[in-house]
């Protein structure tokens, strides 16, 4: 046992240097691993957002096609719902839903 202590005392500088190298490697690898996990989570979030935006894009493309086609029933619905328009002589009733 004393021989081991003497060996450690004699080789203290190389052991300290080796321990510092091991700690530095662990620190760099640890931060890289955390960065990898963060990037994977960000990739998953952006993938979900991409799917939602693709759906929204498709819906907007359909609406644009209907507007370009000048579909009378679609234009009337948009005018009534979005712009609160009504036909001449038509009486519009609005009810408060309490919300």
Task: Give me the pLDDT at residue 99, please.
Answer: 64
pLDDT higher than 80, residue 15: no
Mean pLDDT of 13-36: 81
Q: The tokens of 3 are what?
A: 């021989």
Summary mean pLDDT of the chain:
84
Give the pLDDT confidence score for residue 46 in this predicted structure. 97
Least confident of 6-15, 20-29, 30-39: 6-15
pLDDT one-digit tens code per residue, 33-65? 888 889 999 999 999 999 999 999 999 998 888
Q: Where is average pLDDT lowest: 55-64, 78-87, 90-99?
A: 90-99
DSSP string, 17-57: HHHHHHHHHHHHHHHHHHHHHHHHHHHHHHHHHHHHHHHHH
């Amino acid at each position: 046992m004393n021989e081991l202590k003497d060996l450690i005392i004699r080789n203290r500088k190389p052991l300290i240097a080796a321990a510092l190298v091991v700690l530095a490697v662990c620190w760099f690898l640890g931060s890289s691993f955390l960065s990898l996990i963060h990037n994977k989570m960000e990739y998953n979030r952006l993938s979900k957002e991409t799917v939602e935006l693709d759906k929204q894009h498709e819906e907007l493309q359909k609406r644009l096609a209907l507007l370009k086609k000048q579909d009378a029933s679609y234009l009337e619905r948009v005018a009534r719902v979005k712009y609160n328009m009504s036909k001449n002589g038509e009486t519009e009733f609005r009810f408060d839903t309490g919300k």
